[in-house]
Amino acid sequence: MHNRTKTLGEFIIENQTDFQYSTGELSKLINAIRLAAKVVNHEVNKAGLVDILGDAGDTNIQGEDQKKLDVLANEKFIQTLKNREIVCGIASEEEDDFITINSQDENHNNKYVVLIDPLDGSSNIDVNVSVGTIFSIYRRITPVGTPVQLEDFLQPGNQQVAAGYVVYGTSTMLVYTTGNGVNGFTLNPAIGTFYLSHPNMQFPEDGRIYSVNEGNYVHFHQGVKDYIKYCQKEEGDRPYTSRYIGSLVSDFHRNMIKGGIYMYPKSSVTNNGKLRLLYECNPMAFLAEQAGGLAIGGKSRILDVQPTELHQRIPFFCGSKNMVLKLQEFLDKYH
């Protein structure tokens, strides 16, 4: 079958041997995420027609106003994963604590935990800009059959067995990796099926796009300021193009296809940056490295950072290899 007509389901079955653990479980997990993504996609696309826009009235653990669609996406993903009885625990950016999944089955041997950012970039919903879902899957480290513990979620990113995102844009795409490259699938909304549209996605080694909120420039570390000035300087293939959507999934997706670097540094306002290590940085770093790119938090590789709390924030830089290496040079001057 030609790649353009291969479905996500067929792709999962064909590539089960790439996954080092139980093949059936991962397939069920990806299928559950696929199903929830289709439901959320439907809600996102009708957001302008019904009253699910705007604040829900609650604030999440981060102290941010929750959007109604955040709440809905959170519920849909948790509900779908719970119903399938294929995970033993879930952590969500929208929940204060992790969720333990108790199965009715006495032989409850589920081995995986899922960490999820149900609706990344949700502040963009009201203005019809792309949003997304980010997910990360780990194999539990506490004994199977016992309730999950915090340590099952606080694993370094290099222990991820799968990660990916869904971008709800002009077309809806699911992009994921199980550690054997990155593949993208586009939803055909007429029949509700994802088709392999972007096999073996790769970051170009060099890029000409830099993505950062330049409104925070005055608060950035001097190394980041110097790199931004480098990007803007007229020399060789520069100046680079500045592109910043403010939705991590969308910015990352564009840079992976076109070549670029995404930056959310720490600043004098946000001492640890804004992005969450577990729900955003680790899965995106895994994808970046699998696509030939790099992801760092300043000095160190993102995937080697040992998490200390569920909602930990960290500076984040990722993208085309040579752009990240050049940024690293500027950062190293001040360390």
Binding residues for substrate: 120-123, 213, 244, 274
Nearest to 283 by CA among 119, 160, 107: 160
Give yes or no for a cis peptide into 147 (omega within 30° of 0): no
Q: How far apart are CA 140 and CA 101, in angstroms?
A: 13
Q: How far apart are CA 108 and CA 101, in angstroms?
A: 10
Q: Are strands 183-188 and 193-198 parallel, antiparallel or unpaired?
A: antiparallel
Contact criterion met (CB below 8 Å) for 313 and 305: no
Q: Is 125 helix (H, G, I), strand (E, B) or coil?
A: helix
Report CA-CA distances (Å) from 332 to 143, 225, 228, 288. 42, 13, 15, 22
Structure tokens given for 291: 């696509």
Contact criterion met (CB below 8 Å) for 206 and 259: yes
Positions at the binding site for Mg(2+): 93, 117, 119-120, 280
CA 154-160-161 angle, 5° bins: 140
Contact criterion met (CB below 8 Å) for 6 and 198: no
Q: How far apart are CA 245 and CA 130, in angstroms?
A: 8
Give yes or no for a cis peptide into 239 (omega within 30° of 0): yes
Positions at the binding site: 93, 117, 119-123, 213, 244, 274, 280
